Structure 1
C-alpha cells in the first residue's frame, strides 16, 4: 500500500507563542503525569530496555521528568518549540520531524505522543500513518502510548475559553471561541502579551482532527499492536496503549 499523503499542517503553528508556552501551561502537572505514565509503561512494556522517544514533545515538559527513568529523546515538527526544548534540556537529544514520516533508523522501548498532539494529523488516514510509523520505531515488546484529542461527541463547538498568566514581568491573556470546520476542531487563539519591552497582540490557529475511538483502535490494530485503552489516562482524555509483539511471541 502506498504511503498516505498527510493532511497539510503548518510546521510553525507555535512560532509566535513558543517562547511563552511554558508560562501558559504552568498549571500543568508534568511531574504527576510522568509518574502515571511510568507506571503504565512498566505495566505493559515487555522489552528489557529503557530507551524512550516522545513524539510531538513540544518544549519537553514530560521529558524533563521521564529522563529520570529512561534514556529519553524528543521529536517535534515545530522548530520554535524545539529551540525552547533544547535550551531548557541541553542534555537530551531532540530531532526535527513529522510524526507521519520521521525515520530515526533505530527502535525504542517506549514511544509516546502526549497532550493530544496526535490531533494535529487531522485525518484518519494520516493518523493511521502516524501510528504505523511510531509502531515501526518500537523494539520487540516495546510500548506505544498516545493521548487522544477530543472526539466528535466530546468536542463542544461554540464554547468560550480564556487563560491568564500574571507574573511580575509577563502578563498573558489568551481567548478563543471553539468551532468546527470540515470535521476539524478549530481553535483561533487571540493573544495579548505584556512584558517590560511592551505589549503585543497576535493570533494563532490550531486545527485538530476529531476522530472516534473506533478509528484510533483500528489504527493501532492495523499497526500490529496489542491494543488497550485506559479510560482516564493522564488528564481525563484517555490513553491508547499498544504493545509490539516480542520475539518469543512473534516466533
Structure 2
C-alpha cells in the first residue's frame, strides 16, 4: 500500500515506507503479480479511452517502488511516477530507470500537464483520512487527466466487505534475505487498523524486528463515486479477480471521436 498521505519523515506508523527495500522484496517474494495486474489495467484503459488516446501518456500516483510502473511503461509513449516517500522512489528509480519520478502528496502535487491515463493502485487512497481528503485527491488526479482519458483507482475495502480480526502471515526468501510478516486488522469506527510485525534476517546484517501500524478509511462505494462525479468524471466500479477490493474506472468526457 504505497504512497501514504501522511508525512513519512515524522509519522512512525509508516516505517515500512522508509524500508522500501524490505517492502519491495516482501511483495515480490509473496508473488504479487504486478505484470498481470498491469495487463488488466492496460486493458481497461484501452477499452474506455477515447480512440487514439489509450497509448498516449501515463501518470502512476502512489507508485511506490515502481513495480506496476515498470510493467506499464512499455505500453505508453511516456510515463511519470509520483509518490510521497523518497525511499520508495529510490527503489522505483532502480526498477524503472529513465522514468521521471516526482515526490508529492496525491492531494496537491502539480505537474503542469495532463495524461491520457492516470492510475492509483494498491489501495493507496485508503490512507486518506476524510471525505474532504478523498475529494481533494480525486480532484487532483482528475486535473491531471486529459479529455477522453481514463483514471483507474484501486480502493480500500468498503465497510460491508471488511473482515475484522483478519490475520495475515507470510515468510518469503528473496536474494538471500528472509522476511517474515504477521499482521492483525481490526475496525475502529470508519477505519481499519492493521498492526504489522516484520522480522528480517540476512547474512550480512543479522536479524532485526520492527512493527508498523496502518490506519485506513473504509469509504463507502457511494463516497468514491460522488468524489469522481464532483471532479467531472464518469465512474464505474469493476470487480476483478486480481484486485480484492475491485477497481474504479473513471473517464473524462471529451477527446477525439
Q: TM-score, normalised by structure 1?
A: 0.91
Query: Which of 8, 15, 22 in structure 2 is aligned with 1:11?
Result: 8
Whole-angstrom CA distance in 2 between matches of 1:188 and 1:121: 18
1:180–1:186 CA contact under 8 A, matched in 2:
yes
1:47–1:246 CA contact under 8 A, matched in 2:
no
Say which structure is richer in helix. 2
- TM-superposed CA distance for 1:113, in Å, is 0.4
Aligned to 1:164: 171
Would the alpha carbon gap of residues 86 and 8 (structure 1) be closer, same or farther in structure 2, given more than 3 Å must change?
closer
Query: Which of 105, 115, 118 in structure 1 is aligned with 2:125?
Result: 118
Matches within 5 A, 1:74-113: 74-113=81-120
Would the alpha carbon gap of residues 168 and 40 (structure 1) be closer, same or farther in structure 2, given more than 3 Å must change?
closer
Aligned to 2:65: 59
Aligned to 1:22: 24
Whole-angstrom CA distance in 1 between matches of 2:251 and 2:184: 38
Per-residue CA distance 1:182-222 (angstroms, 9 max, x = gap) = 42211111111000121000111111111111111111111
| RMSD (CA atoms) | 1.8
Within the alignment, does 1:200 sit opposite 2:208 as a pair?
yes
The gaps in structure 2 that reach 5 residues or longer are none
Q: TM-score, normalised by structure 2?
A: 0.89
2:5–2:106 CA contact under 8 A, matched in 1:
no
1:165–1:173 CA contact under 8 A, matched in 2:
yes
Within the alignment, does 1:213 sit opposite 2:221 as a pair?
yes
The gaps in structure 1 that reach 5 residues or longer are 1-6
Whole-angstrom CA distance in 2 between matches of 1:127 and 1:79: 23
Would the alpha carbon gap of residues 226 and 41 (structure 1) be closer, same or farther in structure 2, given more than 3 Å must change?
same
Residue correspondences, number = 243
